[in-house]
């Protein structure tokens, strides 16, 4: 996949990720404000992959490679995990849109249409039943708002950590 226009066909951007060093350096690595432990909670890999596409790099999604994640979060943590995932995703989209990437807005409209029609992505379905649909939306919107209000370094395309 070479552009964000086709992103909706690729699910699960970061279950297993390999990156060329030259790409990592060109994109200044992960945005450390995103991700587990970061202020914006999640989305570091998604942000990296989308920035790579927008910079003209290729992404390859292949079913030929399978990764097994040993262990899982306790069922009692599912709600918090869902909130963190979607909060970070909202922040990522806010960053892309406020940086002027119109294709991110188009992709977001596509996702919203799927959401409204009740057709979650396989990734969304894997982290919660449809009864959690509104929890995902609320978390996404809170993350989007936080991402919109957080300054972005134009040189690295990373959020600037709050002082």
Q: Are 91 and 40 in contact (CB under 8 A)?
A: yes
Contacts of 137 (CB under 8 A, 6+ apart): 86, 115
What pLDDT, on the 0 to 100 scale, is given for residue 8? 47
Rounded to the nearest 10 degrees, what angle do helices 78-98 and 102-116 cross at? 140
Among 89, 99, 106, which Cα is nearest to 49's?
89
Contact present, 85 and 42 (Cβ < 8 Å)? yes
Q: Name residue, tokens 């959401």.
A: 115
Look at residue 128 and tell me whether its pLDDT is greater than 80. no
Are 144 and 88 spatial neighbours (Cβ–Cβ below 8 Å)? Answer: no
- For the chain, the structural domain boundaries read 4-149
* Other Cβ atoms closer than 10 A to 34: 28
Comparing C-alpha atoms, which of 26, 2, 27, 30 is closest to residue 14? 30
At 151 the pLDDT is 96
Q: Is the Cβ–Cβ distance between 104 and 93 less than 8 Å?
A: yes
Cβ within 8 Å of residue 41, ≥6 positions away: 34, 35, 84, 87, 88, 91, 143
Instruction: Kindly report the pTM of this predicted structure.
Output: 0.83
Confidence at residue 133, expressed as pLDDT on a 0 to 100 scale = 78
* CA pair distance 4, 1, nearest whole angstrom: 8
- Render pLDDT for 47-101 as a digit per residue (tens, 0 to 9): 998 899 889 998 877 778 777 777 666 777 878 888 898 899 999 999 999 999 8
Query: Taking 60 as the threshold, does the pLDDT of residue 131 lie above it?
Result: no
């Amino acid at each position: 996949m070479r552009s964000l226009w086709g992103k909706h066909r690729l699910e699960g951007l970061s279950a297993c990720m390999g990156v060329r060093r030259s790409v990592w350096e060109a994109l200044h690595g992960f945005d450390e404000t995103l991700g587990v432990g970061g202020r914006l909670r999640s989305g570091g890999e998604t942000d990296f992959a989308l920035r790579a596409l927008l910079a003209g790099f290729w992404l390859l999604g292949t079913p030929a490679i399978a990764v097994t994640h040993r262990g899982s979060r306790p069922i009692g943590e599912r709600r918090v995990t869902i909130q963190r995932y979607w909060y970070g995703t909202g922040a990522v989209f806010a960053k892309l849109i406020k940086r002027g990437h119109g294709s991110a807005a188009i992709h977001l409209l596509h996702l919203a249409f799927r959401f409204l029609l009740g057709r979650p992505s396989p990734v969304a379905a894997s982290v919660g039943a449809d009864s959690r649909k509104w929890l995902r939306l609320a978390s996404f919107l809170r993350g989007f708002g936080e991402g919109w209000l957080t300054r972005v370094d134009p040189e690295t395309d990373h959020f600037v950590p709050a002082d």
